[in-house]
Amino acid sequence: MSSWWNKPRCVKIVVDTPGWFDIHAESLATRIARHGDEVQILRDANRISSSDVTFYLSCMKITPPEILARSRLNLVAHASDLPKGRGFSPIVWQILNGENTIPVSLLYAADNVDSGDIVIQEKLKFEGHELNEEIRNALGNIIVDMCERFLRSKEVPAGRSQVGEASWYPRRTWKDSELDPQLTIAEQFEILRVVDNERYPAFIKFRGHTYKITITKTGDGGAPN
C-alpha cells in the first residue's frame, strides 16, 4: 500500500461550471470529510497547488497536463461504455437514441479526453419516463457513490485499459432542442425528456413564429395541477 493513501488525504473536487452538479459536489464533499479526508470544492483547477486525489466532475474545460501533474491521482466521470461515446453530453445522446441502460465510468484522467483507464463502471437504468432533472439526479448520485467507493478502497485502485474503437458525441446547442410541429409528441418524447427548461428549452417554429415549450412531470395520471 502506498504510504500516502493512508488518511488524511488531500482531496479536491473541481466543478468548473455552476449548475446541476453543485448539490452532488456538496454531498460528495460531506461524505469525504466524514471519512476523515481533507476536501475542497473548486471552480478553477488552476487553484490547485497540490493534491492527493482530484475529481474533475461536470467540467467543460480541458485540464492541461501541467495542472494534472499537481495531483497524485486525477479522475473524471463519463456516462458511456468507453471508448464508445467519448465527448459531450453522452447520457443525452444515448437517451435520444432510445437507450435506457446507461454505463457510467469513473476513470483516470489522461492527456487525451476520456481515454484513461477505467477504475469503476456501473449502469444506470431508466424506465423511459424520466425527465431531465430526474436523469441528472440519478447520474449525480451514482457519480458520488463511485467517487466515495474509490476513496474507501484499501489501496490505490488499479484501472483497466479501454478496449475497442472510439466514437465521439458532438457538443449540443440550443438548436438541438427544436421540435418538428408535423411530428407527434410520442415521436419526439425523448427530446422532451432531455431538454433543460431554463437553458435549452424545447421549441417549435410554426406559422412564422418561434414558441418555447416546457415540460414538467405532474404525477402518475390524473389532471395536471
Q: Give CA–CA dist 151/52, Å, rounded.
A: 11
Tell me the mean pLDDT in the region 36-44: 96
Query: What stretch of H or E contains 202?
Result: strand 202-206
Q: Enumerate residues 6+ apart whose C-beta is below 8 A from 67.
A: 45, 46, 48
Enumerate domains of the chain plus CATH numbers.
3-169 (3.40.50.170), 174-213 (no CATH)
Q: Give CA–CA dist 129/133, Å, rounded.
A: 12
- 3-class state of residue 145 by DSSP: helix
Q: Enumerate residues 6+ apart whose C-beta is below 8 A from 201.
A: 177, 195, 212, 213, 214
**Taking a C-beta distance cutoff of 8 angstroms, is the pair 15, 60 a contact?**
no
pLDDT digits (tens, 9 = 90+) for 59-91: 988 899 999 999 999 999 999 999 999 999 999
Predicted confidence band of residue 221 (pLDDT cuts 50, 70, 90)? low
H-only helix segments in the chain: 22-34, 65-68, 90-96, 132-151, 189-194
Hey, what's the cell of 170?
A: 458532438
Hey, what's the cell of 1?
A: 500500500
Question: Residue 188: pLDDT above 60?
Answer: yes
pLDDT digits (tens, 9 = 90+) for 112-134: 889 999 999 999 999 999 999 99
Angle at Cα 158 formed by Cα 1 and Cα 47, nearest 5°? Answer: 85
Looking at the whole model, is its pTM more than 0.75? Answer: yes
| DSSP character at residue 76 | E
**Taking a C-beta distance cutoff of 8 angstroms, is the pair 50, 70 a contact?**
yes
